[in-house]
Structure 1
Amino acid sequence: MNTHQNGFFDQRAVPPSSSSAAIDEGPMVIMAGVAAAARRRAVPLAAWVLLCLAAAAWYLHVTPPSYTATATMILDPKRAATPMGETAAAVLPPVLDSAAAESQIQVIRSERLLSSVFDALDLADAPSLRPGPPGLKARVVDAVAGLFRAPHSAVDDKAARDAAAFDAFTGRVGARRIGQSYVVEVAYTSGDPTEARRLANAVVSGYLGQQVSFKLAAAQNGAEYLQGRVKALGDEVRVANAGILAGTVPATLLPDADARVIGAALEPLGRSAPKSGLVVGFAAVFGLLFGLFAVAVLNGLDRRVRSTDQLERATGLPCLGSIPDIRRRKGFAKRPLGEMARLARREPDGRFAAAMRDTRTSILLALEGKRGHALGVTSWAEGAGRSLVAANLAGVVALSGSPVTLVDADIHRADGGLTALGTPVARSLTESLLDPTGATPPDTVRFDEHLGLVPARSAGGAGGFDAYLGAPGLPRLVEGWRTQGDVVVDLPALASGGDARAAAARLDGVVIVVEAGRTTTDDVERAVNALSRAGATVVGTILNRAVG
């Protein structure tokens, strides 16, 4: 290293290890990272939520509405019988415990009761209980299964259809006890609100009729009952059966049913399913939470550098500047190379120029304010924008009145680069490196009074493949440029070969240009390690094309 190296470079000669540079990532840091990732992916996240809402709307559109009608009745407790007869039994306390009440729920759900209602109303051919047309999957499965089974007879098919209709009917009947009370709700769900009301009431009437039928059978077989008692019970059974057929609850009181209807099923005014608000709310919440979860997972797996804090955590080195993306003008027109290389000087009041001035100040502070230093600018891979950063950095340094030499050291590039910005020269950096004496320096193209460019290739642009940035003549060239002022060297990408490392070891320091959203933390660590092993001094990093 040359004699111009100062204490700052000595401290930076060996970058801190990843363990020493690690920063505690608490919950707030993780949440902040997820929030930043969600902002970066706001468009796909919003698109995902809208897709979930569209799926919910499609579901509500294709799902047939269903209506639930509910009838309520109260179970009358049985009174204990006494030898004194019914008059005396009336004064005794009722007997109905919780187990007996739950048993009545099972009676309502029993196959015997529901089959009586099903047969009385001839629901086997009800359109609402018929299965819908089989889907593609069902048709394929049925066709494959048909190859291995004997054909069914028409009688078997009719029985199967009746059984399926009855299963559908029982599945739509609901009965539940309200809390610890004797009140029971009997519900029926159907796509037709009128049918829902009619069948809910029919089930209640069937239950009342069944309870009275039991007593009627006992009365007919018991000698202790009078003929009038038998007739009264028979009338109650007929009233209950009429309610089944009409789909209503008995209008008269059935004292022997051990239950009283306290609310007949009414035709539902609105559908019970699907619930639009619940479906849409679920879709929105699911879409948002699942989207944020996906963003968090992708953010955890994403190794690309996006912020200065992330860059400093990955390297342990200071981030000397955050440069906005300038590749396009307003209206999405792409800027030409010459305009981008001079943008900091042409638009001094812009965001880009301000960022470059801040970067210049950070570098000068890192160099302890001294002049006459040779600074290399490199990146791990091509396309990070190191040449444009180097050109604009040299431009803003030259604006302060200090002479600056900008060197295009990408000698193996066939065309383009900073060399294309100047006029052709007879002797370029390549010819000077191939000269074993190194006595004749390359030509310099003057950009302005304080800024000159040393091209990498001569006017012919051919040959030069034997040139090497680690040649003995390079330190003498750098020393000559340093005597005139500051030197900014645009080095090749580190991943493209070893020339950049060889040249970096002969400069006072190197900054690594990192492209936001493209360069990974692994690439930055590789760049730092490669430069450190070559003996170069890494001053810091520059985040290029930063968003926000």
Structure 2
Amino acid sequence: MVLRETPEAITVSDGSREAKVNRSTEVESIGLLDIWNDVWSHRWFLISNATIWVVAALLYVSTASDEYTAYASIVLTPSRITGSSQNSNAGNAVVQLDSIQAESQIQVLKSERSLRTVFDVYKDEFIPAEARSTTSFNFSGLLRSLISGKGSAPNSIDLEDRFFQRFADKASVRRVGASYVLELAYRAPSAVLAARIANSIVSQYLFNQIDLKAASIEKGGEFLQNRISDIQQQRVTAKESVQNGKIPPRVLPDADAQIISAATVPLKKSWPLSGLTVLFALAMSTAFGLTIIVVRNTLHPVIKSLRSMKRDMEFSCITAVKKNADAFMRPSHGSLLKRLSLLDHPGRASLSYANSLKTIRENILAGCSDMRPFLTCFLPLHPGSEHATLALATAYTLASSGKKVLLVDFDINSAALTLLVWPNAIAGFYDCESTAELEQLAGSCKVADGLYFVPARSPTKIFNPNYYVFSKEHLQMLRDVKDIDVVVVFLSPSSSAVEAHNVGLTFDNATVTAKSGLTPALLLRDTVVALKAPRSIPAAGVLFN
């Protein structure tokens, strides 16, 4: 068997016979219902994936060190010395700042010189607190190091320098809009410590500005004692503010900046944010799960709906069977005959299943010819007991319509139909060597009026798993059966198109059964092509969804 594929059609040749299956060039429209059905079919994967992400988020929240952020704001009020010792009447003239100069003050505010001074004041408090927050496994530090790209410090760096780097990383400064207001934020394991350090950093900035002004005055020759005393007093005030972590009690006019908002003790932690972290985990799990579904469907497309079966598949009829629609056929609902009798007068539980059986039965009867027996088969493309149940129920509805039906289990390996219909069989098709033996076995396994059954094998006996059921002798045995109108054969699950090709050579009709979300689309397509290659037999498609 040779398959040739073109954009318009798939061609299968087998000796002198050739068959084509047209390929639709239309793009299949996908509706919201199709998307929802696809997502719903993967609901357990999405739920499991979300659970893993949420557990990881909760683990992160429970192990991450608490951090509090305190904010302090200053406004730049620049002035420059325009006077000198020769002109004592000259004073300070206000100089307007441009945006570049304002941005440069951000770097001054968080410069190493300023932060190092503040660190020296608080290192006896900061180092123990920081050491406690890193003794346990810390997801927060790991996450931030990955995002920022800052790994651990080299071993050659002094321990105190490592803590200073952490101290500096916790400080951030931003400019508020286009104004001259700078906002400093500082994170610390303690709320009180965060507020004190934030106030000390802005106070240190004021001290540096005053110190620079004092140096400028002395260099410029301005030695008026009262001016120098005022500058020195401002320096002392700023230095005290750095030491105690509180803003200066009075305005420092020579600082070129004023504190407009002191850092207060934060009332709640700023990190980790439990609710936001869980919501982020849920969002990431959903995005990750949907991405996996899309990639899987792209690399390994599967049958999702009747629409996807109809596209490119020239079935004579297609029907769907809902999941668990055959629940009334389970052994817990009574004897086999009692369960089958529910199909004669379908109730609410069996109505949809009976309607699907009617469609399959009509397709089989439409192909019945004068030649007896008429050979039809069920070819499942995926394992599952529902396929065997469907074959049994179809055979029963055919018998109820007045036909004499022989149901044969060709699934030698799993014998799924045998376990459902005749679990105590002592012999089966595997043991038959002639038509007479086959008829005798069928006569001893009568299921209902007009319905006879041939098991695959005895479930308790050793068998050859490589037993070939499609030999000419075996198939001739089915053709030679007398007083039978329809032979329904249940085949083993197919994983390739080879078995479908044998079906096309042997049987007069075929019913292909697939599972939504599990059966590969390529397997179904190749199966249909192989079925139609030898004799283009009528084929029906059944989808379990």
**SS at 2:250 equivalent:** coil
2:67–2:271 CA contact under 8 A, matched in 1: yes
User: Per-residue displacement from partner, 1:413-446 (whole Å, max 9, x unpaired)?
Assistant: 89873984899999999565479xx999985866
Q: Relative to structure 1, is the Cα distance of residues 222 and 513 closer, same or farther in structure 2, using a 3 angstrom cutoff?
A: closer
Superposed CA RMSD: 4.8
1:411–1:429 CA contact under 8 A, matched in 2: no
Q: Which has the larger radius of gyration?
A: 1
2:50–2:282 CA contact under 8 A, matched in 1: yes
2:511–2:539 CA contact under 8 A, matched in 1: yes
1:68–1:193 CA contact under 8 A, matched in 2: yes
- Name the residue aligned to 1:227: 225
User: Per-residue displacement from partner, 1:9-44 (whole Å, max 9, x unpaired)?
Assistant: xxxx98752x52565234x35x65543232122123
1:524 alignment partner AA: L
- Compare 223-232 and 345-354 and name the one that shifted more: 345-354
Deviation at 1:473, TM superposition (A): 7.0
Superposition map of 1:320-359 within 5 A: 320-324=318-322, 338=336, 342=340, 344-345=342-343, 348-349=346-347, 351-352=349-350, 354-359=352-357
Number of aligned residue pairs = 500
Cα distance in 1, alignment partners of residues 388 and 314 from structure 2: 24
- Name the residue aligned to 1:268: 266
Superposition map of 1:25-424 within 5 A: 25-26=28-29, 28=30, 33-78=34-79, 81=82, 94-121=95-122, 123=124, 126-130=127-131, 160-313=158-311, 315-324=313-322, 338=336, 342=340, 344-345=342-343, 348-349=346-347, 351-352=349-350, 354-361=352-359, 363-364=361-362, 368=366, 374-379=374-379, 383=383, 387-400=388-401, 402-408=402-408, 410=410, 417=418, 420=422
- Name the residue aligned to 1:528: 528
Deviation at 1:277, TM superposition (A): 3.1
Percent sequence identity over aligned pairs: 23
- Name the residue aligned to 1:490: 489
Cα distance in 2, alignment partners of residues 397 and 44 from structure 1: 40
Cα distance in 2, alignment partners of residues 120 and 462 from structure 1: 86
Cα distance in 1, alignment partners of residues 525 and 360 from structure 2: 21
TM-score if structure 1 supplies the norm length?
A: 0.74
For structure 2, list consecutive stretches of 5 or more residues without a partner in the other structure: 1-16, 139-154
Q: Relative to structure 1, is the Cα distance of residues 81 and 363 closer, same or farther in structure 2, using a 3 angstrom cutoff?
A: same
1:377–1:511 CA contact under 8 A, matched in 2: yes
- Name the residue aligned to 2:14: none
Q: Relative to structure 1, is the Cα distance of residues 280 and 383 closer, same or farther in structure 2, using a 3 angstrom cutoff?
A: closer
Cα distance in 2, alignment partners of residues 271 and 127 from structure 1: 19
Cα distance in 2, alignment partners of residues 538 and 404 from structure 1: 21
1:390 alignment partner AA: A
Cα distance in 2, alignment partners of residues 23 and 331 from structure 1: 40
Cα distance in 2, alignment partners of residues 427 and 116 from structure 1: 94
2:28 alignment partner AA: E
Q: Relative to structure 1, is the Cα distance of residues 528 and 207 closer, same or farther in structure 2, using a 3 angstrom cutoff?
A: closer
Deviation at 1:248, TM superposition (A): 1.0
Q: Relative to structure 1, is the Cα distance of residues 525 and 323 closer, same or farther in structure 2, using a 3 angstrom cutoff?
A: same
**SS at 2:163 equivalent:** helix
User: Per-residue displacement from partner, 1:508-539 (whole Å, max 9, x unpaired)?
Assistant: 42323335565443443444344334436133
1:446–1:452 CA contact under 8 A, matched in 2: yes
- Name the residue aligned to 1:153: none
1:231 alignment partner AA: S
**SS at 2:233 equivalent:** helix
User: Per-residue displacement from partner, 1:435-471 (whole Å, max 9, x unpaired)?
Assistant: 9xx999985866555x142647999x99999984576
Deviation at 1:239, TM superposition (A): 0.9
Cα distance in 1, alignment partners of residues 484 and 293 from structure 2: 50
- Name the residue aligned to 1:453: 452
Q: Relative to structure 1, is the Cα distance of residues 452 and 166 closer, same or farther in structure 2, using a 3 angstrom cutoff?
A: closer
2:508–2:538 CA contact under 8 A, matched in 1: no
Q: Relative to structure 1, is the Cα distance of residues 426 and 223 closer, same or farther in structure 2, using a 3 angstrom cutoff?
A: closer
Cα distance in 1, alignment partners of residues 515 and 243 from structure 2: 79
2:53 alignment partner AA: C
Q: Relative to structure 1, is the Cα distance of residues 269 and 353 closer, same or farther in structure 2, using a 3 angstrom cutoff?
A: closer
Q: Relative to structure 1, is the Cα distance of residues 173 and 336 closer, same or farther in structure 2, using a 3 angstrom cutoff?
A: same
Cα distance in 1, alignment partners of residues 439 and 395 from structure 2: 25
Cα distance in 1, alignment partners of residues 47 and 173 from structure 2: 43
Q: Relative to structure 1, is the Cα distance of residues 95 and 350 closer, same or farther in structure 2, using a 3 angstrom cutoff?
A: closer
**SS at 2:27 equivalent:** coil
